[in-house]
Amino acid sequence: MTGRPPAFLFDLDGVLVDTAPLHFAAWRAVVRRHLGIRLPQALEHDLRGLSRADSLRRILAHGGIRLSADRFAAILEDKNALYRRMIADLDPNALLPGADRLLTDLAAAGHPLALVSASRNAPAILARLGIAERFAFRVDPARIARGKPAPDIFLAAAAGMDVPPRDCIGFEDAPAGIAGIKAAGMIAVAVGSQAAAGADLAVPDLAACDPATVVALWRRRRSADDPATG
């Protein structure tokens, strides 16, 4: 078994900070203005973990709507502009329970940390939360060919940190994210109940996450994979 500690990969929205309601509020306002339709609250769950473009595709599929490329791009631009205005007032107090302590403890224990957010606004949000320097690597979603549930963003994080995927532990709050972590061959930790199915471990929030328990799970998995070195 490797002597290096495992790496921890974190989604942003819904894991470290709850911006999902802001995303959905922006989508609701922009879609109503452009398309004249009201989005049901239940759709918010379906959009969690998706990129901006994939979110709009899901919305259009829900409404049975087809758009030209120009109108599609215009809606994306308007949604992002509105969302950026909404997040302008974020500060470290917006961090979800346990996030700051967990990141601090993991870094102190020598675990590499990566951000695996599909949001292109992630750098601005991290800066407002005061945690940008905690992450050794941040995946640029613009360079990722396939969004979650494909494993691309998680594999890119592993490659960026020079850590084998099986030595990575991912935290997600959405089913698409959990599916992507598992497809990458990593241990998946679900934050909240909506993504618990399919995860290796589920916690209600990061305050309830014990790093020792997660690392022990990783050690057992590695020992099972490499019994001669376990």
Does 13 participate in catalysis according to the annotation?
A: yes
Token pair belonging to 103: 């990141």
- Provide the token pair at 113: 């940390």
Backbone angles phi, psi at 16, to 5 degrees: -100, -30
Whether 208 and 189 have beta carbons less than 8 Å apart is answered as no
CA 120/CA 218 separation, integer angstroms:
30
User: What is the residue whose two structure tokens read 């994210």?
Assistant: 177
Q: What are φ and ψ of residue 139, in 5° steps?
A: -70, 135
Rg of the chain (C-alpha set): 18
How many of the other CB atoms lie within 10 Å of CB of 89?
8
What separation, in Å, do the N-terminal and C-terminal C-alpha atoms of the chain show? 6
Nearest to 161 by CA among 10, 33, 47, 1: 10
Q: What are 13's strand-pairing partners?
A: 17
State the DSSP H helix or E strand holding residue 18, giving kind and residue range, or none if neither: none
Please identify every residue annotated as catalytic: 11, 13
